[in-house]
Structure 1
Amino acid sequence: MRSSPIISNPIVSRESGGSLVEQIVRSVASRIDDKLLRTGARMPSIRQFADEQQVSRFTVVEAYDRLVANGYLESRRGSGFFVRERASMLANNHAVALANPVAQQFDVVWLVRNMFRQLPPQKMPGSGVLPHDWLDGELVANGLRAISRVNSSQLLHYGTPQGFMPLRQQLQLKLAELEIAAAPEQIVTTSGVTQALDLVAREFTQPGDTIFVDDPAWFLMFGSFSILGAKVIGIPRLHDGPDVAKLAELAALHKPKLYIINSVMHNPTSTSLSAAKAFQVLKTAEQHDFMIVEDDIYCDMHPGTAVQPATRLAALDQLNRVIYLGGFSKTLAANLRVGFIATSPQLAIRLSDRKMLSTLTTTEIGERVVYKILSEGHYRKHVDRIRGKLDSVRDDVTKRVENLGMKVEYRTPAGMFLWVETSCDSIALAEKALEQGILLAPGSLFSPNQLPSSRMRINIAAMSDPGVWAFLEKEIG
């Protein structure tokens, strides 16, 4: 049996910075995940692979052994190596985490785990939250004190499955300001946007189904969707939204059930969707019959269309084919896990039932705190201050980053992130940084294929520590 031409093409580079074994493991695993190498396909012999890729046979043996150990290949005595049938929940495991025991720490779980380490906030430019001194702890504390004075019996029972009604009424007003019409019955509260995404994915997908995400995008989705057995495929993100030609091409090929998108203040680029792209995305979703999940967690960091154009898909669609997600963990407190879903009345009931069956209810105490902050008018002033602080540091951080030789991919007038080209292996850079107590966010973690990347996400609010700049100057400057 002849080997696949996909493997016959060069897949290793001695200039990439990674070991040859790691490159082979990543490339082969990625091709198996993408169904470019089918179950049962025979791999090239060790000698043939070594000759075609111009590597030693020892390198191929070690790479094949690791692929066997991680369930990608099986070895048949006397016959060679064959692509193994993968369990659905492993179908989209990230090859970068399989290359070797050391590299396993540099996956999505690695970044999330280290975000919870007790590092000083100013030492965490790779994190996705604002430093504590940028937030208003007293605002949250006042809300907690206020609800402690209500009838205590109201705090002892389960909350309402769909969420605290006064908060949902307040969210109706908030959404109306964004030109999204949603009655309280169309809103379901969640434990942050993370739970909202999980509920929607479980409602619409079965193992083997396809979910589209932006590429790059928020990394936590990749692992959680893969655990559900879904196939996660990235749509290239441009300065004004997704590559709509690629979106249409891949939608025709893969027939996705969902497309998860940040329309406004995209993570990690801080770009926003143009009106033209928004119409094209909705048209493609209608043509290929998939739902759009609009994650607007950074909504309140956007200054308004007078400063930067922004179009929300939910405002155009009015919650027919678009499911809108929001929350307050980025602007109030990461520990205040209050998010919400806005959707059609029928779907809101189904999602509320699914939430009830998985977690009963969300905590009403947190929802009461958020309601108090929103209803008393404090929140608007609070986010105005946050935007002002981001504006005060954005230009300086951008210039200093560029002076070090890094390229800022998109210069936007709002948002908390810079997406930068480092011209080096950002995983190796993150490893060195962690040894010095600094958390960076390598670009490979923001792509569903998790391949090596020289890009990196920088949180401009967490760039005040001189030690961070000294490290970057030494390693990149």
Structure 2
Amino acid sequence: MQTPHFFISRDSGGSLVEQIFHAVANRIDDKLLRTGARMPSIRQFADEQGVSRFTVVEAYDRLVAKGYLESRRGAGFYVRERASMTMNTPVMPPLPDSAQQLDVVWLVRNMFRQLPPQKMPGSGVLPHDWLDGELVANGLRAISRLNQNLLLHYGTQQGFLPLRQQLQLKLAEQEIAAAPEQIVMTTGVTQALDLVAREFTKPGDTIFVDDPAWFLMFGSFAILGTKVIGIPRLHDGPDVVKLAELAAIHKPKLYIINSVMHNPTSTSLSAAKAFQVLKTAELHDFMIVEDDIYCDMHPGSAVQSATRIAALDQLNRVIYLGGFSKTLAANLRVGFIATSPELAIRLSDRKMLSTLTTTEIGERVVYKILSEGHYRKHVDRIRVKLDGVRDQITKRLENLGMKVEHRTPAGMFLWTDTGLDTNKLTEKALEQGYLLAPGSLFSPQQLPSTRMRINIAAMSDPGVWDFLQKAMK
């Protein structure tokens, strides 16, 4: 058997044994290495990957110990049947032999694989070299010099007060009036959405989302037993006629929407659409949840419209969400909810009952970065870098035969139409070590799609372009 091509780096911080172990285990989990397949010999693996035989022996031994491989005396190593193993963690359902099963969990799981960021054009975060690790590190060092007792207790129920006061100023710049007692800190927008959904829905209720939209919501809302219905997203916001029609039929409790820098299209809501969405919500009595996680990638209304429904409504029927994981660090899970004073109390109580408080250390780091003026300059640099590659990447994709449906002047995503089944395209890419984001994952229906989300910040690897060029022929 020819050795599969793995991405082994001596500069990654992980040992070569660990990298080989995880690379082989991941391929077995994803059914790219089938049960019964013979692994390369130790010598062959070592020679083709440029590592020592001792390294391969230790990696293979770990794979045997974890039940991924079996050693047959005199015959070598073979992929073991995983379904028959008793494991402490849930076993994923077997995938069909003919195709890799693609769903929300699949993409989330693969986003956390140890692939280099430049090999993940389907990811939803900026590569490490686009961010400022020293900015976050300086914040952590400053926090470490505080009185240690401040770092040892729980945080406060609604979150670090100075940060909430700083967010009050930030929201005021977006014409949203929110006192600190109206802001609840969360572990990212993901927790914020979960808290709101649990507060307003019960099993059988309906939640509206954009179509396409951020895929993680579909799985988390399904766990709650709710029905998720997509509202077609146009270049300037949702199809408001369809929104009204479906609202009259389904009586939703919530509508989750990206008004600014929509994921995955990077489009933004027009003022007219914002007004119409709010009027529809009032007529059919549902709450609007405005997820504005990408807001700081927007350059301002001089370049593109940036109307927030929360600015029109002032947090009566609109619940506003934000966070910093997309612009500072994915590992800095600091998000927030801005809402009415009464609802803020209920949501903070619900947060306490589920996770107690949020981590004040991270909130202090974000506060330091915001309050000292570093954040504004940092996001300015990110926007400049995105502007520097957007047109070039758009043209290269179009030259390959892809269509970019909404050409926007800002944001980190392009929503492309490849003309191919992007589920199959994604399977082929994964075999080459690249992670794509097929369009099927961004719709509640998750039907096969020719569309695909491209992260323009993660398109620097020539191998990505070589793969796409061959695939599009």
TM-score range, shorter chain: 0.7 to 0.9
**Which of 355, 369, 374 is 1:373 aligned to?**
369
Among candidates 126, 131, 150, match of residue 122 of structure 2: 126
Aligned equivalent of 1:457: 453
Distance 1:104 1:434 in 2: 10
Map of 2:162 onto structure 1: 166
| SS of structure 2 residue aligned to 1:270 | coil
Partner of 1:418: 414
Question: Unaligned regions of 5+ residues in structure 2, if any?
Answer: 1-92
Q: Deviations over 1:276-315 (max 9, x none)?
A: 1011000000000000000000010000000111110000
Q: Which whole-Å CA distance do the structure 2 matches of 1:141 and 1:106 have between them? A: 36
The percent of aligned pairs where both chains have the same amino acid is 87
Please report how far the alpha carbon of residue 215 of structure 1 lies from its aligned counterpart in structure 2 after TM superposition: 0.1
Please state how far the C-alpha of 1:190 moved relative to its aligned partner.
0.2
Change (3 A) 1:98 1:344: farther
Q: Deviations over 1:416-441 (max 9, x none)?
A: 00000000000000000000100000
What is the identity, as a one-letter code, of the residue corresponding to 2:127? P
1:231 to 1:169, Cα distance in 2 relative to 1, 3 A: same
| Cα drift, residue 344 of structure 1 | 0.1
Map 1:187-266; keep pairs closer than 5 Å. Answer: 187-266=183-262
Q: Which runs of 4+ in 1 moved over 3 A?
A: 97-105
TM-score (norm 1): 0.79
Query: What is the aligned partner in structure 2 of residue 108 from structure 1?
Result: 104
The counterpart of 1:144, out of the listed 133, 137, 140, is: 140
Which of 299, 321, 332 matches 2:295?
299
Distance 1:161 1:104 in 2: 43
What residue is the counterpart of 1:357 in the other structure? 353
Q: Which amino acid aligns with 2:296?
A: D
Cα distance in 1 between the residues matched to 2:101 and 2:163? 40
Aligned pair 1:287/2:309, yes or no?
A: no
Q: Deviations over 1:229-283 (max 9, x none)?
A: 0000000000000000000000000000000000000000000000110110000
> Do the aligned partners of 2:421 and 2:448 also contact (CA within 8 Å) in 1?
yes
In structure 2, the residue matched to 1:84 is none
* Distance (Å, rounded) in 2 between the aligned partners of 1:306 and 1:103: 47
5+ long unaligned stretches in structure 1: 1-96
How much has 1:103 moved relative to structure 2? Answer: 5.2
Counting only pairs closer than 5 Å after superposition, residues 442-453 of structure 1 correspond to structure 2 as: 442-453=438-449
Contact 1:98 1:104 survives alignment (8 Å): no
The answer to whether residue 268 in structure 2 is matched with residue 272 in structure 1 is yes
One-letter amino acid of the structure 2 residue matched with residue 270 of structure 1: S
- Structure 2 length-normalised TM: 0.80
CA RMSD, aligned part only? 1.1
- Counterpart residue number, 1:327: 323
Residues 286 and 99 from structure 1, CA distance in 2 versus in 1: closer, same or farther, beyond 3 angstroms?
farther
Deviation at 1:100, TM superposition (A): 4.3
Aligned equivalents of 2:125, 2:296: Cα separation in 1: 14
SS of match in other structure, 1:392: helix
1:471 counterpart = 2:467:
yes
Any idea what the Cα deviations from partners look like across 1:190-217, whole Å, max 9, x if unmatched? 0000000000000000000000000000
- Separation in structure 2 between the aligned mates of residue 258 and residue 105 of structure 1, nearest angstrom: 30
Q: Give per-residue Cα distances to partners, 1:434-455, cap 9 Å, x unaligned.
A: 0010000000000000011000
Looking at structure 1, the residues matched to 423 and 290 of structure 2 have their Cα atoms a distance apart, in angstroms, of: 29
Q: CA deviation at 1:105?
A: 3.4
Aligned-partner residue type, residue 138 of structure 1: E
In the TM superposition, residue 161 of structure 1 has moved relative to its aligned partner by: 1.2
